Structure 1
Amino acid sequence: MSRPVLHRLGLAAAAALLPTVAFAHTGVGEAGGFAHGFLHPLTGLDHLLAMVMVGMLAWQLGGHARWLVPASFVVVMALGGSLGVAGTTVPFVELGIALSVVVLGSVVALGMRLPVAAAMAVAGLFAIFHGHAHGQEMPADVLGLSYGAGFMVGTALLHTAGLGLGMLIGRIGDRAGQVGIRATGAAAAIAGVVILTGAV
């Protein structure tokens, strides 16, 4: 991969890891249009960490997992968003979102070699909660559709940032890179526990 592409991925990863508030879905303020949808996953630490961990997990697994795991998250998140828009109740949404950070961070930290189908299922399970949270705030009109497209693109960008971060850390060297990736996962899992205490 060329050096300019690596630099772009590094910048995307750095931007994705900027400190933000813990919960993105406050239910307050305007939630219409592409820009609002795009920024929504980037403005809450819970969403941000989970999305980046999906990308890092995909990087760790390698091969087809590098696109199948993030793609499964985005697709199922769209379905979860539809449930939110329709007013369908999904229990324990905040708890599920907080747990997603803990579980995904822990899987990365432990370097678990999940089968691709299992990784897709784990990502998909948590995507329902993230999507539902987005969908509940999405207006049921044309602006709502733009908002939905925005949060899907924002989520995919965070997955890409996670892939880029995994690649950049991995380039340090086999052993040091794995330690760095696992340490990043552990930090996310610890942050998830903190978020979880506020969700219970």
Structure 2
Amino acid sequence: MTAAVQDEALAIAALRQRPRRDHEASFFFWDPAFGCASVKILPGEFYVHDQDVAITTTLGSCVAACLHDRTAGIGGMNHFMLPDAGDASAGGRFGAFAMELLINELLKRGARRNALEAKVFGGGQVMKSLAGTLIGEKNVSFVQQFLASERIPLVGSDVLEVFPRKVCMFPRSGRVLCRRLPAAQVGQTEAQEAQYRAQLGRQRGGDVELFR
């Protein structure tokens, strides 16, 4: 094993050894594009850190909110599917619960509520089966209203329109990259969201843009 590979393995192991909270992301990998350890957020999950690991997710009609305290050097991201509050059994798949999960964890880790800034992504109309439901628009409207009510300034966004997105956040610096994915990947994103929506139903009975 080379020194570089050993360092990568140690970085991933360190992330896996951290105590994990309910709904916290747990899929860790080494991202060669950024040269750092990464964590992938699935629908209903969140992640907070104070080091520049890469927090990543892929969005269709779902929304991800990235919150950051630049003075404390800590940030995090969530990924929710529906704006309704839902109940605890559905966890972070609902917007209100997802936002509370993220904010509470940031405060526990040393962020200050009055210092938080937000960047928001997703809400695209990519699922033909949901074209008449305006789920993406409702998700975006919810998070915008939530941030306004909590007096958290929205300093960057890439939302709505008709394509899926890949989002990558570096939580220490607050830097976020958003890539609009090509049409060829719409089907993959649609299938992923459909899978998670089915799970939720059972429980209830391009170009890279940098935002600073």
- Provide TM-score, normalisation by structure 1: 0.32
> Where is the strand percentage greater, Structure 1 or Structure 2?
2
What TM-score, normalized to structure 2?
A: 0.31
